Amino acid sequence: MKKGPTVVVGMSGGVNSSVAAYLLKKQGYNVIGLFMKNWDEKNEDGICTATEDYRDVVKVANELDIPYYSINFEADYMERVFKHVVRGHLEGKNPSIDVRCNQEVKFGLFKKICETIRCRLHRNRALCQNKRC
């Protein structure tokens, strides 16, 4: 890795996170991709969509020549997000699953991972910057 700031990009396999990783690398950052598996859902062919998404992350990371990792938050997502939202609906409330996911997973668990590797969380697209690299 080059000397320079290191960022961890939460990568979904989609365009936004892939372009963010590309632009950050182009700007001279050492980019690390992190795929978060939050749900285990199969498509009509019986294939887990998270598996397909992860394959896309691998392709992009290899094309950009950046390291990438995967972390499984399925159990945490079920407890902290999904069950909370279901309880809210049963109580006649209308909680947002996206807001809850952002609070608990993207800026909760993801932030803890960043802190573990001495990163600081940036609010834009779940980026962490390691000032010690």
Q: Could you tell me the residue ranges of all domains in the chain?
A: 6-73+113-130
Q: Looking at domain 6-73+113-130, what is its CATH homologous superfamily?
A: HUPs (3.40.50.620)
Give the per-residue pLDDT at 81.
87
Whether the Cβ atoms of residue 25 and residue 31 lie closer than 8 Å to each other: yes
Residue 82 above 70 pLDDT? yes
Give the percent of the chain with pLDDT over 90: 23
Confidence of residue 125 (pLDDT cuts 50, 70, 90): very low
Residue scoring higher pLDDT (133 or 48): 48
Give the per-residue pLDDT at 119.
60
> What pLDDT digit, counting tens, does each position of 32-41 carry?
898 988 877 7
